[in-house]
Amino acid sequence: MNSKIYSTVAVVIVVLALIAGGIILALYFTGVFDLSRPEPEPVGFSVTIDDEIYDTDTEGLVIASGTNIIVGTDEYTVTIGAAMPSEDMTFIVGTELWSWSDISEWDMTSCFDISVGEKSFILGYTGFPEIIARAFGVNEAEVKTGAASAGDIFKLIITSGNDTLSFGFTLTDVSGTENYVSLDKEHIVF
């Protein structure tokens, strides 16, 4: 009877060891143990957004209109670019259908209201359609948008000297305009 218990315990230990080995190998091959992957280096200044302090590049922020962004340096520049979200999206300007991927590298700084202070600035905007209208130099009524894709659709870049911090963000309301219809080759999107 004792030998049956010992052999059962031995089999359970071997099975657990094989499972643990498989998990460790899976983690190794997915790069979890990759020490050559550098951690982001903090830059020479920090930025405070909504009471959170950042000194490395960050993604996934939602920045509300009127947010006061504090920059921990005296001299800095601010630029905002269009970023490619997880899925492409379409919008209409006038009668022309555009994809976000068409403008994903555009400088969108002038599409936002930026009020610069001594060590901070306030980022303002009215809404997603207005930002697109400003980018194309048209009236907001000429822009039709669906809801924006999930993920970052803009990139806020703050530069001071040789140091740069980049923040991927989206807006608080990216619901788009009413009565938006985009014709796709495979289906109609309302």
Query: pLDDT for 11-57, tens place per residue?
Result: 889 888 889 888 887 777 776 666 665 566 677 899 999 999 999 99
Residue 42 lies in a domain: no
- Judged by average pLDDT, the poorest of 36-40, 58-62, 77-81, 105-109 is 36-40
Answer yes or no: do 75 and 8 share one domain.
no
The CA distance from 135 to 139, in Å, is 10
Single pTM value for the model:
0.70
Answer yes or no: do 22 and 56 share one domain.
no
**What's the pLDDT score for residue 164?**
93
The CA distance from 90 to 146, in Å, is 7
Answer yes or no: do 19 and 78 share one domain.
no
Identify the band that residue 8 occupies on the pLDDT scale cut at 50, 70 and 90: confident
Residue 95, pLDDT > 70, answer yes
Q: What's the pLDDT tens digit per position in 143-164?
A: 998 877 888 999 999 999 999 9
Instruction: Between 4 and 136, name the one with better pLDDT.
Output: 136
Answer yes or no: do 171 and 81 share one domain.
yes
Contacts of 106 (CB under 8 A, 6+ apart): 81, 82, 135
Residue 138 lies in a domain: yes
Position 89, amino acid: M
**What's the pLDDT score for residue 134?**
95
Overall number of domains in the chain = 2
Position 142, amino acid: E
The CA distance from 83 to 155, in Å, is 6
Residue 4 lies in a domain: yes
Query: Quick one: average pLDDT of 74-81?
Result: 93
A 10 A CB-CB count for 10 gives 10
Position 121, amino acid: F
**What's the pLDDT score for residue 3?**
78
Which structural domain, as residue segments, surrounds residue 1?
1-37
